[in-house]
């Protein structure tokens, strides 16, 4: 194998030989992009309706992100948390002012943000039990994994952090029964992502706040997937008006670079002291500079996210599907058949989408996605679903009837 060979076959063979087999990757080789478009190694174009799993919210090669990256990388790439640098404080102030929380802590990823939240909750309450939801996803490190409501993810790594109770999403009675005087924190995703795009009801969120207050537990909202504009609000909790004690963020925050954050409210004031927690890379100055751009652009795009989302919901509900759930630009389309073969057909037709659980197509497009992209996607999905076999067909055949609609990939290169 030639080390300079970057053809798709060589890339796959090299990974197969040398990387730990953590991923069952889709045979798709994106190499370039512009806006909501991706192009693969053969120059074929796709609409990117997944955005690197909710990361690339400003699309690819956003001019402001590119400029901020050039400027920030012309000074220091890394400083460490031993010393001061302006970038963390600037982004921290923006996040605090926008959320109404009190302080920010920066890390590198979603799972790390939840680890920090877990430690902070233990420090603040001096309690250890936790309540989370069935089908939740909070990350892969041992603490966050302990809160993740998928048995298949947790079981190979048992024993995990003890004292976690899982309740069904939106089941107020089960939540009230599970939270007691020993509960340190309730962890919720206001809109559950990996669990199949399940919005938590206002009633459930209010109940969580009420029961947390009653038992002196903390309420933690994991907004790693649903936060930072995704649902049409800068923070998903702003729709219900239920204020948590801690918010965790990551995915889009660093503009594509690794960056996570924990926002803490009044209940955490004075609790976390030097030495309790820390990270070498967290709050990297370049990632924070990009984060400031992401936040400013996202605030500007909120009306567009809401308008597109409302239109998309109406249109998607016209398709022969089981359910359409979500808000803003976070949508789950539940099918009557496995979603993975349908996602493969969509890819062959030029649409990058995700899946969640067995039968849900998951859309997390960039906030700059044009209506045309979503409209073409809905047409393509309609064609695929109208096929009689109900099981989808291999990706290579996906372009067949879609070609008639002019939806096959074109060869135009991403600018």
Ligand X SMILES: Cc1ncc(COP(=O)(O)O)c(C=O)c1O
Size of the site for ligand X (CB under 6 A): 14
In the sheet with 246-249, reading across from the earlier edge strand, the strands are 103-107, 260-264, 246-249, 218-222, 183-188, 129-133, 164-167
Q: Binding to ligand X by residue 38, rule CB under 6 A?
A: no
Residue nearest to ligand X (CB): 110
Site string for ligand X, 215-254 (x = CB under 6 A): -------x-xx------------------------x----
Q: Binding to ligand X by residue 354, rule CB under 6 A?
A: no
DSSP 182: T
**Which of these segments, 85-93, 134-142, 175-183, 335-343, binds ligand X (CB under 6 A)?**
134-142
Name the pairing type of β-strands 323-327 and 330-334: antiparallel
- Distance between the two ends of the chain, CA-based, in angstroms? 31
Of 236, 220, 217, give the one whose Cα is nearest residue 228.
236
For residues 50-77, one letter each, b for 16 or more C-beta atoms within 10 angstroms of the residue's C-beta and e for the rest, the string is bbbebbbbbbbebeebeebbeebeeeee
Helix 285-316, helix 63-73: angle, nearest 10:
170
Distances (CA, A) of 145 to 10, 107, 166, 195, 246: 34, 17, 13, 14, 18
**Which of these segments, 77-85, 110-118, 170-178, 353-361, binds ligand X (CB under 6 A)?**
110-118
DSSP 200: P
Q: Least Å distance between CB 55 and ligand X?
A: 9
Site for ligand X (CB under 6 A): which residue of 194, 245, 297, 376?
194
Site for ligand X in 135-174 (CB under 6 A): 137-139
Q: Least Å distance between CB 91 and ligand X?
A: 17
Q: Closest CB to ligand X among 37 and 362? A: 362
Q: Closest CB to ligand X among 193 and 256? A: 193
Say whether 175 sits in a helix, a strand or coil. Answer: helix
Site for ligand X (CB under 6 A): which residue of 39, 109, 146, 215?
109
Q: Least Å distance between CB 260 and ligand X?
A: 6
**Which of these segments, 103-111, 233-241, 394-402, 404-412, binds ligand X (CB under 6 A)?**
103-111
Binding site for ligand X (CB under 6 A): 109-111, 114, 137-139, 189, 193-194, 222, 224-225, 250
């Amino acid at each position: 194998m030639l080390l300079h060979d970057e053809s798709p076959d060589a890339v796959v063979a090299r990974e197969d030989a040398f990387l730990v087999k953590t991923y069952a990757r889709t045979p798709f080789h994106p190499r370039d992009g512009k806006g909501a478009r991706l192009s693969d190694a053969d120059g074929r174009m796709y609409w990117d309706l997944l955005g690197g799993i909710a990361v690339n919210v400003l699309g690819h090669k956003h001019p402001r992100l590119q400029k901020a990256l050039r400027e920030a990388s012309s000074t220091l790439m890394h400083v460490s948390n031993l010393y001061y640098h302006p970038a963390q404080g600037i982004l921290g102030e923006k996040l605090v002012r926008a959320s109404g929380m009190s302080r920010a802590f920066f890390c590198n990823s979603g799972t790390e943000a939840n680890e920090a939240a877990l430690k902070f909750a233990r420090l603040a309450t001096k309690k250890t039990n936790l309540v989370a939801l069935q089908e939740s996803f909070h990350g892969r490190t041992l603490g966050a994994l302990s809160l993740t409501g998928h048995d298949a993810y947790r079981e190979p790594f048992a024993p995990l952090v003890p004292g976690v109770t899982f309740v069904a999403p939106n089941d107020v009675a089960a939540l009230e029964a599970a939270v007691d005087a020993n509960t340190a924190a309730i962890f919720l995703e206001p809109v559950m992502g990996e669990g199949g795009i399940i919005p938590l009801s206002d009633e459930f969120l209010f109940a969580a706040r009420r029961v947390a207050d009653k038992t002196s537990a903390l309420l933690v909202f994991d907004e790693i997937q649903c936060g930072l504009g995704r649902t049409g609000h800068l923070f998903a909790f702003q729709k219900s008006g239920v204020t948590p004690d801690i918010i965790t963020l990551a995915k889009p925050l660093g503009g594509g670079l690794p960056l996570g954050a924990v926002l803490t409210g009044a209940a955490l004031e004075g609790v976390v002291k030097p030495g309790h927690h820390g990270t070498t890379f967290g709050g990297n100055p370049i990632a924070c500079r990009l984060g400031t751009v992401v936040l400013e652009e996202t605030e500007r795009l909120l009306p567009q996210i809401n308008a597109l989302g409302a239109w998309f919901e109406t249109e998607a509900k016209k398709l022969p599907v089981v359910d359409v759930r979500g808000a803003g630009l976070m949508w789950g389309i539940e099918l009557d058949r496995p979603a993975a073969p349908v996602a493969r057909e969509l890819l062959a037709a030029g649409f990058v989408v995700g899946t969640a659980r067995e039968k849900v197509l998951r859309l997390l497009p960039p906030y700059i996605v044009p209506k045309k992209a979503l409209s073409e996607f809905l047409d393509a999905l309609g064609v695929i679903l109208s096929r009689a076999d109900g099981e989808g067909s291999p990706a290579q055949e996906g372009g067949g009837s879609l070609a008639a609609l002019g939806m096959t990939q074109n060869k135009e290169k991403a600018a």
